[in-house]
Structure 1
Amino acid sequence: MKRVVIFCGSGSGTDEIFYREATLAGATLARQGIEIVYGGAKVGLMGAVADGALRQGGKVTGVIPYFLQSKEIAHTGLTELILVESMHERKTKMNELCDAVIALPGGYGTMEEFFEMLTWAQLGLHQKPIALLNIAHYYDPLITLVNTMTAKGFLKSIHREMLLYSDRIDDLLGKMKNYKAPDTGKWISKEDT
Protein backbone atom coordinates (compact mmCIF):
# COMPACT_ATOMS: atom_id res chain seq x y z
CA MET A 1 0.00 0.00 0.00
CA LYS A 2 1.83 3.05 -1.29
CA ARG A 3 -0.79 5.73 -1.83
CA VAL A 4 -4.09 6.15 0.03
CA VAL A 5 -6.95 8.42 -0.93
CA ILE A 6 -8.59 10.12 2.05
CA PHE A 7 -12.21 11.27 1.84
CA CYS A 8 -13.29 13.53 4.70
CA GLY A 9 -15.10 16.72 5.59
CA SER A 10 -14.17 20.29 4.80
CA GLY A 11 -15.60 21.05 8.25
CA SER A 12 -13.99 20.16 11.59
CA GLY A 13 -17.07 18.77 13.36
CA THR A 14 -18.43 19.54 16.80
CA ASP A 15 -15.74 17.83 18.87
CA GLU A 16 -11.99 18.47 18.76
CA ILE A 17 -11.37 14.70 18.63
CA PHE A 18 -12.28 14.71 14.92
CA TYR A 19 -9.58 17.25 14.04
CA ARG A 20 -7.03 15.66 16.38
CA GLU A 21 -7.57 12.14 14.99
CA ALA A 22 -7.52 13.41 11.38
CA THR A 23 -4.15 15.06 12.07
CA LEU A 24 -2.91 11.82 13.65
CA ALA A 25 -4.10 9.81 10.64
CA GLY A 26 -2.13 12.03 8.27
CA ALA A 27 0.97 11.85 10.47
CA THR A 28 0.72 8.06 10.83
CA LEU A 29 0.44 7.54 7.08
CA ALA A 30 3.47 9.77 6.50
CA ARG A 31 5.56 7.97 9.14
CA GLN A 32 4.74 4.67 7.42
CA GLY A 33 5.86 6.07 4.06
CA ILE A 34 2.33 6.06 2.62
CA GLU A 35 1.50 8.97 0.34
CA ILE A 36 -1.86 10.73 0.65
CA VAL A 37 -4.21 11.81 -2.11
CA TYR A 38 -7.15 13.95 -1.01
CA GLY A 39 -9.49 16.73 -2.06
CA GLY A 40 -6.88 19.48 -1.87
CA ALA A 41 -8.50 21.84 0.66
CA LYS A 42 -6.79 23.60 3.56
CA VAL A 43 -9.92 23.64 5.72
CA GLY A 44 -11.56 21.22 8.15
CA LEU A 45 -10.52 17.59 8.43
CA MET A 46 -9.11 17.80 4.92
CA GLY A 47 -6.58 20.38 6.05
CA ALA A 48 -5.87 18.45 9.26
CA VAL A 49 -4.97 15.26 7.38
CA ALA A 50 -2.71 17.15 4.96
CA ASP A 51 -0.99 19.18 7.66
CA GLY A 52 -0.45 16.10 9.84
CA ALA A 53 1.31 14.33 6.98
CA LEU A 54 3.30 17.34 5.79
CA ARG A 55 4.66 17.99 9.30
CA GLN A 56 6.09 14.46 9.24
CA GLY A 57 7.69 14.99 5.83
CA GLY A 58 4.99 13.03 4.00
CA LYS A 59 3.94 13.46 0.40
CA VAL A 60 0.44 14.86 -0.10
CA THR A 61 -1.31 15.32 -3.44
CA GLY A 62 -4.47 17.39 -3.62
CA VAL A 63 -7.02 17.07 -6.41
CA ILE A 64 -9.40 20.01 -6.61
CA PRO A 65 -11.76 21.42 -9.25
CA TYR A 66 -10.97 24.89 -10.57
CA PHE A 67 -14.20 26.30 -9.13
CA LEU A 68 -13.17 25.32 -5.58
CA GLN A 69 -9.57 26.43 -6.03
CA SER A 70 -10.81 29.84 -7.10
CA LYS A 71 -12.70 30.17 -3.78
CA GLU A 72 -9.29 30.23 -2.06
CA ILE A 73 -9.76 27.02 -0.10
CA ALA A 74 -6.93 25.13 -1.85
CA HIS A 75 -4.00 24.11 0.35
CA THR A 76 -0.91 25.92 -0.92
CA GLY A 77 1.72 23.82 0.89
CA LEU A 78 1.12 20.46 -0.76
CA THR A 79 3.64 18.27 -2.54
CA GLU A 80 1.42 18.53 -5.62
CA LEU A 81 -1.92 20.17 -6.42
CA ILE A 82 -3.81 18.84 -9.44
CA LEU A 83 -6.56 21.05 -10.87
CA VAL A 84 -9.47 19.39 -12.67
CA GLU A 85 -12.62 20.56 -14.43
CA SER A 86 -15.34 18.83 -12.39
CA MET A 87 -16.18 16.82 -9.29
CA HIS A 88 -16.51 13.70 -11.44
CA GLU A 89 -13.05 14.23 -12.92
CA ARG A 90 -11.75 14.73 -9.37
CA LYS A 91 -13.03 11.31 -8.25
CA THR A 92 -11.70 9.63 -11.37
CA LYS A 93 -8.24 11.16 -10.89
CA MET A 94 -8.17 10.27 -7.20
CA ASN A 95 -9.07 6.67 -8.05
CA GLU A 96 -6.29 6.54 -10.66
CA LEU A 97 -3.72 7.77 -8.15
CA CYS A 98 -4.52 5.53 -5.17
CA ASP A 99 -4.29 1.90 -4.19
CA ALA A 100 -6.49 2.15 -1.07
CA VAL A 101 -9.30 4.31 0.36
CA ILE A 102 -10.03 5.66 3.85
CA ALA A 103 -13.04 7.77 4.80
CA LEU A 104 -12.92 9.93 7.91
CA PRO A 105 -16.00 11.78 9.17
CA GLY A 106 -17.65 14.06 6.64
CA GLY A 107 -20.96 14.93 5.03
CA TYR A 108 -22.71 14.22 1.73
CA GLY A 109 -19.59 14.67 -0.39
CA THR A 110 -17.58 12.24 1.72
CA MET A 111 -20.37 9.67 1.59
CA GLU A 112 -20.84 10.05 -2.16
CA GLU A 113 -17.12 9.58 -2.83
CA PHE A 114 -16.86 6.67 -0.41
CA PHE A 115 -19.89 4.79 -1.72
CA GLU A 116 -18.81 5.24 -5.32
CA MET A 117 -15.50 3.53 -4.50
CA LEU A 118 -17.37 0.73 -2.70
CA THR A 119 -19.72 0.32 -5.65
CA TRP A 120 -16.80 0.16 -8.08
CA ALA A 121 -15.27 -2.60 -5.91
CA GLN A 122 -18.60 -4.46 -5.84
CA LEU A 123 -18.71 -4.31 -9.63
CA GLY A 124 -15.16 -5.61 -9.87
CA LEU A 125 -13.73 -2.38 -11.30
CA HIS A 126 -10.95 -2.38 -8.67
CA GLN A 127 -9.73 -4.52 -5.77
CA LYS A 128 -8.55 -1.78 -3.42
CA PRO A 129 -9.14 -1.95 0.33
CA ILE A 130 -11.85 0.50 1.39
CA ALA A 131 -12.09 1.55 5.01
CA LEU A 132 -13.80 3.79 7.53
CA LEU A 133 -11.82 5.48 10.31
CA ASN A 134 -14.62 5.40 12.86
CA ILE A 135 -13.55 8.37 14.98
CA ALA A 136 -15.68 8.75 18.14
CA HIS A 137 -18.15 6.14 16.80
CA TYR A 138 -19.12 8.53 13.99
CA TYR A 139 -19.78 5.70 11.54
CA ASP A 140 -21.58 3.31 13.94
CA PRO A 141 -25.00 4.10 12.37
CA LEU A 142 -23.59 3.52 8.87
CA ILE A 143 -22.05 0.19 9.89
CA THR A 144 -25.41 -0.80 11.37
CA LEU A 145 -27.14 0.19 8.12
CA VAL A 146 -24.73 -1.90 6.04
CA ASN A 147 -25.37 -4.88 8.34
CA THR A 148 -29.12 -4.31 7.90
CA MET A 149 -28.69 -4.22 4.11
CA THR A 150 -27.06 -7.65 4.35
CA ALA A 151 -29.62 -9.07 6.79
CA LYS A 152 -32.52 -7.91 4.60
CA GLY A 153 -31.02 -9.35 1.42
CA PHE A 154 -30.00 -6.15 -0.38
CA LEU A 155 -26.25 -6.64 0.04
CA LYS A 156 -24.42 -9.94 -0.27
CA SER A 157 -22.20 -10.98 2.65
CA ILE A 158 -19.17 -11.11 0.36
CA HIS A 159 -19.76 -7.45 -0.53
CA ARG A 160 -20.38 -6.53 3.12
CA GLU A 161 -16.93 -7.91 3.93
CA MET A 162 -15.33 -5.39 1.55
CA LEU A 163 -16.00 -2.66 4.13
CA LEU A 164 -13.17 -2.43 6.66
CA TYR A 165 -13.36 -0.24 9.74
CA SER A 166 -11.68 0.60 13.03
CA ASP A 167 -11.54 3.48 15.47
CA ARG A 168 -7.71 3.41 15.47
CA ILE A 169 -5.59 4.34 12.45
CA ASP A 170 -2.83 1.80 13.20
CA ASP A 171 -5.35 -1.04 13.47
CA LEU A 172 -7.12 0.13 10.31
CA LEU A 173 -3.89 0.22 8.30
CA GLY A 174 -3.10 -3.32 9.45
CA LYS A 175 -6.49 -4.53 8.21
CA MET A 176 -5.98 -2.74 4.92
CA LYS A 177 -2.50 -4.17 4.36
CA ASN A 178 -3.85 -7.70 4.97
CA TYR A 179 -6.95 -7.21 2.80
CA LYS A 180 -7.59 -9.72 0.04
CA ALA A 181 -10.32 -8.69 -2.37
CA PRO A 182 -12.99 -11.37 -2.66
CA ASP A 183 -13.61 -13.15 -5.92
CA THR A 184 -17.14 -11.92 -6.39
CA GLY A 185 -17.67 -13.35 -9.86
CA LYS A 186 -20.95 -12.13 -11.26
CA TRP A 187 -22.49 -9.78 -8.75
CA ILE A 188 -26.01 -10.41 -10.07
CA SER A 189 -27.14 -13.91 -10.95
CA LYS A 190 -30.28 -14.94 -12.84
CA GLU A 191 -31.81 -16.03 -9.53
CA ASP A 192 -31.45 -12.46 -8.22
CA THR A 193 -33.54 -10.96 -11.04
Structure 2
Amino acid sequence: MPMARALLSICVFCGARAGHNPAHTSAAQAMGAAIAAQGWRLVYGAGDVGLMGEVARSAQSAGAPTFGVIPTHLMSAERGKRDLSQLVITEDMHERKKVMFMNSDAIVVLPGGAGSLDEFFEVLTWAQIGLHRKPIFLLNSEGYWNPLIALLDHIIAEGFADASVKSYFTAAPDVATLTEALRSALS
Protein backbone atom coordinates (compact mmCIF):
# COMPACT_ATOMS: atom_id res chain seq x y z
CA MET A 1 0.00 0.00 0.00
CA PRO A 2 1.57 3.36 -1.03
CA MET A 3 2.17 5.95 1.67
CA ALA A 4 -0.08 8.99 1.61
CA ARG A 5 1.66 12.11 0.37
CA ALA A 6 2.07 14.71 3.08
CA LEU A 7 0.01 17.83 2.62
CA LEU A 8 2.30 20.67 1.56
CA SER A 9 1.65 23.99 3.22
CA ILE A 10 2.38 27.40 1.75
CA CYS A 11 2.81 30.31 4.16
CA VAL A 12 1.60 33.55 2.60
CA PHE A 13 2.69 36.83 4.14
CA CYS A 14 0.85 39.85 2.73
CA GLY A 15 -0.89 43.10 3.46
CA ALA A 16 -3.82 43.55 5.80
CA ARG A 17 -4.75 46.32 3.37
CA ALA A 18 -5.56 45.98 -0.32
CA GLY A 19 -3.40 48.91 -1.43
CA HIS A 20 -4.28 51.18 -4.33
CA ASN A 21 -3.43 48.90 -7.27
CA PRO A 22 -6.25 46.43 -8.06
CA ALA A 23 -3.67 44.15 -9.72
CA HIS A 24 -2.43 43.20 -6.25
CA THR A 25 -5.94 42.11 -5.21
CA SER A 26 -6.19 40.04 -8.39
CA ALA A 27 -2.78 38.50 -7.68
CA ALA A 28 -3.82 37.60 -4.12
CA GLN A 29 -6.98 35.93 -5.43
CA ALA A 30 -4.96 34.06 -8.07
CA MET A 31 -2.46 32.94 -5.41
CA GLY A 32 -5.24 31.50 -3.25
CA ALA A 33 -6.73 29.69 -6.25
CA ALA A 34 -3.28 28.36 -7.27
CA ILE A 35 -2.65 26.97 -3.78
CA ALA A 36 -5.96 25.12 -3.97
CA ALA A 37 -5.34 23.91 -7.54
CA GLN A 38 -2.05 22.36 -6.45
CA GLY A 39 -3.69 20.56 -3.53
CA TRP A 40 -1.70 22.61 -1.00
CA ARG A 41 -2.79 24.14 2.31
CA LEU A 42 -2.77 27.89 2.88
CA VAL A 43 -1.02 29.07 6.04
CA TYR A 44 -1.61 32.77 6.64
CA GLY A 45 -2.32 35.48 9.20
CA ALA A 46 -6.03 34.60 9.68
CA GLY A 47 -7.31 38.07 8.84
CA ASP A 48 -10.35 38.73 6.68
CA VAL A 49 -9.17 42.13 5.46
CA GLY A 50 -6.90 43.39 2.67
CA LEU A 51 -4.86 40.97 0.59
CA MET A 52 -4.96 38.51 3.50
CA GLY A 53 -8.72 38.18 3.21
CA GLU A 54 -8.54 37.94 -0.57
CA VAL A 55 -6.02 35.09 -0.63
CA ALA A 56 -7.94 33.20 2.07
CA ARG A 57 -11.39 33.53 0.53
CA SER A 58 -10.01 32.53 -2.86
CA ALA A 59 -8.21 29.48 -1.45
CA GLN A 60 -11.29 28.46 0.54
CA SER A 61 -13.71 28.85 -2.35
CA ALA A 62 -11.42 26.68 -4.50
CA GLY A 63 -11.32 23.96 -1.81
CA ALA A 64 -7.94 24.47 -0.11
CA PRO A 65 -7.54 23.72 3.57
CA THR A 66 -6.71 26.90 5.49
CA PHE A 67 -4.57 27.33 8.60
CA GLY A 68 -4.80 30.81 10.10
CA VAL A 69 -2.72 32.28 12.91
CA ILE A 70 -3.62 35.57 14.57
CA PRO A 71 -2.64 37.27 17.81
CA THR A 72 -5.40 38.13 20.29
CA HIS A 73 -4.89 41.88 19.89
CA LEU A 74 -5.58 41.74 16.12
CA MET A 75 -8.77 39.64 16.19
CA SER A 76 -10.88 42.79 15.93
CA ALA A 77 -8.67 44.97 13.69
CA GLU A 78 -7.98 42.22 11.13
CA ARG A 79 -11.44 40.67 11.56
CA GLY A 80 -10.09 37.24 12.49
CA LYS A 81 -11.57 34.70 10.08
CA ARG A 82 -13.27 31.97 12.10
CA ASP A 83 -14.43 29.72 9.23
CA LEU A 84 -10.94 28.34 8.53
CA SER A 85 -9.97 24.67 8.60
CA GLN A 86 -7.80 25.52 11.59
CA LEU A 87 -7.45 28.75 13.58
CA VAL A 88 -4.69 29.40 16.11
CA ILE A 89 -4.90 32.47 18.33
CA THR A 90 -1.53 33.51 19.74
CA GLU A 91 -0.49 35.88 22.49
CA ASP A 92 1.70 38.09 20.28
CA MET A 93 3.16 38.76 16.84
CA HIS A 94 6.36 36.83 17.50
CA GLU A 95 4.43 33.67 18.28
CA ARG A 96 2.22 34.25 15.24
CA LYS A 97 5.21 34.31 12.87
CA LYS A 98 6.79 31.30 14.56
CA VAL A 99 3.62 29.19 14.33
CA MET A 100 3.09 30.17 10.68
CA PHE A 101 6.69 29.37 9.80
CA MET A 102 6.74 26.05 11.66
CA ASN A 103 3.57 24.91 9.88
CA SER A 104 4.75 25.64 6.36
CA ASP A 105 6.97 24.11 3.70
CA ALA A 106 7.54 27.31 1.71
CA ILE A 107 7.02 31.04 2.12
CA VAL A 108 5.40 33.41 -0.37
CA VAL A 109 5.40 37.15 0.22
CA LEU A 110 2.76 39.16 -1.61
CA PRO A 111 2.65 42.96 -1.63
CA GLY A 112 2.26 44.41 1.82
CA GLY A 113 3.55 46.97 4.27
CA ALA A 114 5.88 47.04 7.26
CA GLY A 115 4.53 43.78 8.66
CA SER A 116 5.17 41.94 5.40
CA LEU A 117 8.69 43.41 5.26
CA ASP A 118 9.29 42.25 8.83
CA GLU A 119 8.11 38.75 7.97
CA PHE A 120 10.21 38.62 4.80
CA PHE A 121 13.39 39.82 6.49
CA GLU A 122 12.95 37.45 9.40
CA VAL A 123 12.67 34.34 7.22
CA LEU A 124 15.41 35.68 4.92
CA THR A 125 17.76 36.22 7.88
CA TRP A 126 16.96 32.77 9.27
CA ALA A 127 17.85 31.25 5.88
CA GLN A 128 21.03 33.33 5.65
CA ILE A 129 22.29 32.09 9.03
CA GLY A 130 21.38 28.48 8.27
CA LEU A 131 18.28 28.03 10.45
CA HIS A 132 16.13 26.74 7.58
CA ARG A 133 16.15 25.78 3.91
CA LYS A 134 12.54 26.49 3.07
CA PRO A 135 12.08 28.21 -0.28
CA ILE A 136 11.11 31.90 -0.08
CA PHE A 137 9.33 33.68 -2.92
CA LEU A 138 8.40 37.29 -3.55
CA LEU A 139 5.37 37.77 -5.77
CA ASN A 140 6.64 40.82 -7.62
CA SER A 141 3.21 41.79 -8.94
CA GLU A 142 3.42 44.93 -11.09
CA GLY A 143 7.06 45.31 -9.97
CA TYR A 144 5.95 45.97 -6.39
CA TRP A 145 9.12 44.53 -4.83
CA ASN A 146 11.58 46.19 -7.27
CA PRO A 147 12.56 48.86 -4.68
CA LEU A 148 13.20 46.11 -2.10
CA ILE A 149 15.41 44.22 -4.54
CA ALA A 150 17.25 47.47 -5.31
CA LEU A 151 17.73 48.05 -1.57
CA LEU A 152 19.26 44.57 -1.23
CA ASP A 153 21.58 45.36 -4.16
CA HIS A 154 22.58 48.57 -2.33
CA ILE A 155 23.20 46.65 0.92
CA ILE A 156 25.43 44.23 -1.02
CA ALA A 157 27.24 47.07 -2.81
CA GLU A 158 27.88 48.81 0.52
CA GLY A 159 29.40 45.62 1.96
CA PHE A 160 26.74 44.82 4.56
CA ALA A 161 25.81 41.50 2.94
CA ASP A 162 27.31 39.05 0.51
CA ALA A 163 25.71 38.72 -2.91
CA SER A 164 24.57 35.29 -1.73
CA VAL A 165 21.78 36.95 0.29
CA LYS A 166 19.80 37.16 -2.95
CA SER A 167 20.12 33.40 -3.46
CA TYR A 168 17.80 32.74 -0.51
CA PHE A 169 14.70 34.00 -2.29
CA THR A 170 13.19 34.06 -5.75
CA ALA A 171 11.19 36.97 -7.16
CA ALA A 172 8.46 35.98 -9.62
CA PRO A 173 6.53 38.46 -11.77
CA ASP A 174 3.19 36.63 -11.64
CA VAL A 175 1.33 33.80 -9.92
CA ALA A 176 1.78 31.31 -12.77
CA THR A 177 5.58 31.72 -12.72
CA LEU A 178 5.66 31.60 -8.93
CA THR A 179 3.48 28.47 -8.79
CA GLU A 180 5.73 26.65 -11.24
CA ALA A 181 8.82 27.66 -9.23
CA LEU A 182 7.12 26.50 -6.02
CA ARG A 183 6.25 23.15 -7.59
CA SER A 184 9.89 22.67 -8.60
CA ALA A 185 11.20 23.74 -5.20
CA LEU A 186 8.86 21.39 -3.34
CA SER A 187 9.30 18.30 -5.52
Query: How does the TM-score come out when normalised to structure 1?
Result: 0.88
Equivalent AA in structure 1 for residue 22 of structure 2: E
Equivalent AA in structure 1 for residue 101 of structure 2: N
The answer on whether the counterparts of 1:150 and 1:160 sit within 8 Å (CA) in structure 2 is: no
Distance 1:16 1:48 in 2: 12
Q: Secondary structure at the match of 1:102?
A: strand
Distance 2:170 2:49 in 1: 26
Distance 2:76 2:34 in 1: 30
Question: Which residue number corresponds to residue 143 of structure 2?
Answer: 137
Give the unaligned 5+ runs of structure 2: 1-6
Question: Which residue number corresponds to residue 153 of structure 1?
Answer: 159
Cα 1:31/1:177, change in 2 over 3 Å = closer
Give the unaligned 5+ runs of structure 1: 181-193
Question: Which residue number corresponds to residue 66 of structure 2?
Answer: 60
Per-residue CA shift, 1:56-82, capped at 9, x if unaligned?
100111100111114471112211111
TM-fit CA distance, 1:20: 1.1
Distance 1:142 1:72 in 2: 25
Distance 2:179 2:161 in 1: 25
Question: Which residue number corresponds to residue 104 of structure 1?
Answer: 110
Per-residue CA shift, 1:113-132, capped at 9, x if unaligned?
11100000011110001110
Distance 2:155 2:183 in 1: 26
- The list of structure 1 runs, each at least 4 consecutive aligned residues, that deviate by more than 4 angstroms after superposition, is none
TM-fit CA distance, 1:153: 2.2
Equivalent AA in structure 2 for residue 33 of structure 1: G
Alignment length (residue pairs): 180
Q: 1:121 aligns with which of 114, 123, 127?
A: 127
Q: Does 1:162 align with 2:168?
A: yes
Question: Which residue number corresponds to residue 43 of structure 2?
Answer: 37
The answer on whether the counterparts of 1:164 and 1:176 sit within 8 Å (CA) in structure 2 is: no
Name the stretch that deviates more: 140-149 or 100-109: 140-149
The CA RMSD measured in Å over matched residues stands at 1.6
Equivalent AA in structure 1 for residue 179 of structure 2: L
Question: Which residue number corresponds to residue 190 of structure 1?
Answer: none
Question: Which residue number corresponds to residue 172 of structure 1?
Answer: 178
Cα 1:57/1:11, change in 2 over 3 Å = same
Name the stretch that deviates more: 1-10 or 31-40: 1-10
Q: Does 1:8 align with 2:14?
A: yes
Q: Secondary structure at the match of 1:83?
A: strand
Distance 2:140 2:39 in 1: 22
